[in-house]
């Protein structure tokens, strides 16, 4: 009789995407969101040129050859969908409320802010909640890994921190996750008292969006520099603070403990249809790699799924590949 084997069982065939596929996909979608924000800011300038000149030659005389090239490419792109002016006007906004070819997307925090300050929603604004809430109900907190443009910054900062930890001791501060609820309700109160601009200092992705918009606006419209310089300074300052918190206090500290949008979407998606699932028969009792690698502090080892963003990092590091994405167990 042959001796029992101590090696792990061979991993079962995968039906859902592997962790590496999910991680690459999440990086690509976030880069895509950043590019979209840049285009939306640039298309604001296109609308001004369209309304002011409506002629490539006049655009070149007024703003230069580069502006003419951008104008012509934008005009050709929008013309494929109909009247270029109308189509361009159907796209615009920033991360917490934008339209892409007429399809609205609204951040739930933006919706709560408008309700708190103005006590009503426009129909299109309200319809914009369908996509983010639907994503949360099906996939959980995927906004943080697949949509949020600020999370790319924190993703990079986490890897810089991991490198520094090889040479220096860095603290790993733990905060009650209820802190994000406090920031949410405190922010809503500040919105009622002072206006929506407070979220520039509290929402990382809103600060990123404002920085992109105003940077491009400054580049293309010099007259706007003095009017928006204060906003740009505030947004850059907020981004620097968020980055330092992540670097010095803990990996993705802002996402884990401070971001109200992430906390709200995590709460909405706590009973999501899909999540990371663990095959207990294949899981090594002494292994906690998945718990240690999770950027949001989720613990797949104990079948925890609240706040899971389906980033795939736990699936990549699992030595027995006992983790996969699937329908939640009842």
Question: E strands along 77-126, which residues?
Answer: 92-94, 97-100, 103-106
pLDDT at 179: 93
Asked whether residue 207 carries a pLDDT value surpassing 90, the answer given is no
Interval 183-194: pLDDT, tens: 999 999 999 999
Strands 97-100, 92-94: parallel, antiparallel or unpaired by DSSP? antiparallel
Which range is least confidently modeled, 137-141, 161-165, 206-210, 241-245? 206-210
| Reported pTM | 0.82
Helices 150-164 and 19-52, packing angle to 10 deg? 140
Spatial contact of 268 and 137, defined as CB atoms under 8 Å apart:
yes
The count of other CB atoms within 10 Å of the CB of residue 235 is: 23
Asked whether residue 222 carries a pLDDT value surpassing 50, the answer given is no
**Tokens found for residue 247:** 């670097």
pLDDT at 63: 80
The count of other CB atoms within 10 Å of the CB of residue 121 is: 15
Asked whether residue 4 carries a pLDDT value surpassing 50, the answer given is no
Q: Of 67-81, 210-224, 287-301, which has the strongest mean pLDDT?
A: 287-301
Q: Region 273-287: what's the mean pLDDT? A: 90
Asked whether residue 315 carries a pLDDT value surpassing 80, the answer given is yes
**Tokens found for residue 30:** 């976030």
Local confidence band at 141 (pLDDT 50, 70, 90 cut-offs): very high
Q: How many whole angstroms separate alpha carbon 292 and alpha carbon 172?
A: 12
Interval 94-122: pLDDT, tens: 777 888 877 888 999 999 999 999 998 98
- How high is the mean pLDDT of the chain? 84
Q: How many whole angstroms separate alpha carbon 256 and alpha carbon 261?
A: 11
Q: How far apart are the first and last CA of the chain?
A: 41
Q: Region 18-39: what's the mean pLDDT? A: 90
Asked whether residue 290 carries a pLDDT value surpassing 60, the answer given is yes
CA of residue 210 relative to chain centroid, distance: 14
238-276: burial string, b at 16+ Cβ within 10 Å, e else: bbeebbebbbebbbbbbbbbbbbbbbbbbebbbebebbb
- DSSP label at 54? -
pLDDT at 327: 87
């Amino acid at each position: 009789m042959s001796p029992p084997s101590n090696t792990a069982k061979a991993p079962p065939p995968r039906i859902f995407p592997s962790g590496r596929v999910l991680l690459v996909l999440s990086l690509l979608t976030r880069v895509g969101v950043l590019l979209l924000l840049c285009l939306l800011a640039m298309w604001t300038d296109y609308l001004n040129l369209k309304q002011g000149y409506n002629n490539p030659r006049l655009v070149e005389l007024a703003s230069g050859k580069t502006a003419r090239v951008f104008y012509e490419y934008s005009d050709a792109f929008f013309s494929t969908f109909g009247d270029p002016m109308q189509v361009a006007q159907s796209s615009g906004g920033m991360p917490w409320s934008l339209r892409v070819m007429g399809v609205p997307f609204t951040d739930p925090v933006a919706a709560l802010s408008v309700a708190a300050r103005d006590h009503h929603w426009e129909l299109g604004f309200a319809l914009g909640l369908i996509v983010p809430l639907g994503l949360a109900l099906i996939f959980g907190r995927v906004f943080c890994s697949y949509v949020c443009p600020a999370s790319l910054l924190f993703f990079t900062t986490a890897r810089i921190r991991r490198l520094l930890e090889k040479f220096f001791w860095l603290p790993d501060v733990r905060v009650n996750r209820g802190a994000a609820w406090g920031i949410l309700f405190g922010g809503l109160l500040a919105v009622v008292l002072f206006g929506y601009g407070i979220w520039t200092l509290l929402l990382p992705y809103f600060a990123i969006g404002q920085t992109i918009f105003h940077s491009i606006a400054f580049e293309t419209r010099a007259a706007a520099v003095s009017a928006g310089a204060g906003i740009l300074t505030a947004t850059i300052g907020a981004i620097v603070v968020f980055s330092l918190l992540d670097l010095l206090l803990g990996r993705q500290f802002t996402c884990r403990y401070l971001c109200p949008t992430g906390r709200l979407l995590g709460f909405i998606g706590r009973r999501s249809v899909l999540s990371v699932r663990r095959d207990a028969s294949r899981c090594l009792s002494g292994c906690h790699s998945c718990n240690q690698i999770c950027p949001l502090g989720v613990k797949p080892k104990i079948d925890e799924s609240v706040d899971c963003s389906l980033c795939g990092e736990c699936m990549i590091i699992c030595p027995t590949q006992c983790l996969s994405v699937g329908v939640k167990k009842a």
